[in-house]
Structure 1
Amino acid sequence: MATKIRDVMTGSPTSVSPELDLVTVARAMRDEDIGTVLVADGDELLGVVTDRDLVVRGLAAGGDPARAAIGGLASSVTATIGPDDSLDKAAQIMRERSVRRLPVLEDGRPVGIVSIGDLAMEKDSASALADISAARPNT
């Protein structure tokens, strides 16, 4: 059984510049089959954007999504974790901060993302959340 974040995280996270428009980011998410991107300026992590953020804070707000900068709707990063930290520590942080994903930082730069589904598949593979997380996308 995996015990460290590096064993379950999604490595090489997709990072986008805060100046990119919503449409470009949405297409990148579609093309890469991902639901979360990190917003960064070089190696400096500025925020996180999910597919839900694109809809709720982006499209629903009105305006032209081809002109709206992704940095304007990114969520602040309230917590991160290191690749050598434990799965239990990640679960504790997620519980305390009410987040479903944690950016993984090593030497201050993003190297991965770990989700609540990643933890469920490793720690409780018989759970409904693990089953849902392991299922193939319905695209």
Structure 2
Amino acid sequence: MPTAREIMTNDVTCVREQDDLKSAAKRMAELGVGSLPICGDDNRLKGMLTDRDIVVKVLAEGRDPANVTAGELAQGEAVTIGADDDAGEILRTMGKHKVRRLPVIDGHELVGIVAVADVARSLPERPVGDLIEAISEHS
């Protein structure tokens, strides 16, 4: 089975903890992505910021995205995968945590992002179908 390092996207753009969400949303739009890793000044992963986070936790609550930082939305430890973990572990982790993207870590360094689409391109249909079903279930 391929490893995360073999199937990940390695061109990763971070949003900084102190960046406001208006700037983060603009960066997402420019890159055509729905999420960005939140990185601290120490270049360590602090969490993930999604377009949904901005809508639900900021806009829907009437908060101004220009006055909320990405770091304010970084909650707990981000779910990650090791660069040398195989696709089976990626599937298990995505399914368990109901996420569609995983930051890939080598030691303490963020080296990429692996998405469901990356896994889908590298594996037979059935495991990917099971993953989609698992992360799409409503709790």
Q: Which amino acid aligns with 1:67?
A: N
Structure 2 residue 36 is matched with structure 1 residue 37:
yes
Over the aligned positions, Cα root-mean-square deviation in angstroms equals 2.2
The equivalent residue for 2:134 is none
* 8 A Cα contact 1:9 1:114, kept in partner: yes
Structure-2 separation of matches of 1:16 and 1:111:
15
The equivalent residue for 2:136 is none
The equivalent residue for 1:89 is 89
Amino-acid identity (%): 35
Structure 2 residue 49 is matched with structure 1 residue 25:
no
* 8 A Cα contact 2:18 2:70, kept in partner: yes
Q: Hey, which bits of structure 1, 4+ residues long, moved more than 4 A?
A: 125-129
3-state SS of the aligned residue for 2:118?
helix
Structure-2 separation of matches of 1:5 and 1:128:
15
Instruction: For residue 124 of structure 1, report the CA deviation from its aligned partner.
Output: 3.4
Structure 2 residue 62 is matched with structure 1 residue 49:
no
5 Å-filtered alignment, 1:92-131, equals: 92-124=92-124
Instruction: For residue 94 of structure 1, report the CA deviation from its aligned partner.
Output: 1.4
What is the TM-score when the length of structure 1 is the normalising length? 0.81
Structure-1 separation of matches of 2:78 and 2:71:
16
What is the TM-score when the length of structure 2 is the normalising length? 0.81
Structure-2 separation of matches of 1:127 and 1:90:
11
> Unaligned regions of 5+ residues in structure 1, if any?
130-139
More helix by share: 2
The equivalent residue for 1:133 is none
Instruction: For residue 51 of structure 1, report the CA deviation from its aligned partner.
Output: 1.3
3-state SS of the aligned residue for 2:74?
coil
